[in-house]
Amino acid sequence: MRTKIFGISFIICAVISILLTGCVGEPESIEPVVTQNPPGYQIRVLLYDSVKKIFFKIDDEYQIISCDTSEISKAAETPKEIEITVDSNAVKMGQQQFNTRRLVIQPQNSQPFAINHQKYRGELEIVTNPDNKTLMVINNVPMEAYLAGVVASEMPSYWETEALKAQAIAARTYCLYIKSRFGKNRSWDVKATQANQVYRGVRAEILRTNDAVNSTFGMVLCCEQESGCEPFGTYYSSVCGGHTENSKNVFGDKFEPLKGVNCPYCRESTKTSLFYWPDIKYDKKTVTKNILGRYPSLKELGTINKIEAVKESKYNGNLTRITSVKLTGSTGKTGFLRTEDLRLAIDSSGAKIQSTCCAIVSLEKEFLFVAGKGFGHGVGLCQYGAREMARQGKTAEQILNFYYPGSRIKNLY
Residues that bind Zn ion (CB under 5 A): 240, 263, 266, 382, 385
Nearest residue (CB) to Zn ion, 188 versus 384:
384
Largest Cα–Cα separation, the chain: 84
* Min dist. Cβ of residue 204 to Zn ion (A): 25
Its sign, for the CA torsion 374, 380, 383, 388, is: positive
What length does the chain have?
A: 413
* Min dist. Cβ of residue 228 to Zn ion (A): 30
What is the distance of C-alpha 296 from the center of its chain? 27
Nearest residue (CB) to Zn ion, 143 versus 169:
169
Beta bridge partners of 353: none
Nearest residue (CB) to Zn ion, 146 versus 403:
403
Nearest residue (CB) to Zn ion, 122 versus 385:
385
Nearest residue (CB) to Zn ion, 266 versus 292:
266
* Min dist. Cβ of residue 383 to Zn ion (A): 8
* Min dist. Cβ of residue 237 to Zn ion (A): 9
* Min dist. Cβ of residue 395 to Zn ion (A): 18
Task: Give the contacts of 51 (CB within 8 A, at least 6 positions apart).
Answer: 134, 135, 137
* Min dist. Cβ of residue 321 to Zn ion (A): 12
* Min dist. Cβ of residue 132 to Zn ion (A): 44
* Min dist. Cβ of residue 382 to Zn ion (A): 3
Alpha carbons 71 and 236: distance in angstroms, whole number: 43
* Min dist. Cβ of residue 222 to Zn ion (A): 23
Nearest residue (CB) to Zn ion, 217 versus 276:
276
Alpha carbons 138 and 104: distance in angstroms, whole number: 9
Nearest residue (CB) to Zn ion, 139 versus 407:
407
> Minimal CA–CA distance to 144: which of 30, 45, 31, 42?
42
Its sign, for the CA torsion 322, 323, 329, 332, is: negative
> Minimal CA–CA distance to 327: which of 357, 367, 279?
367
Nearest residue (CB) to Zn ion, 56 versus 236:
236
Nearest residue (CB) to Zn ion, 124 versus 382:
382
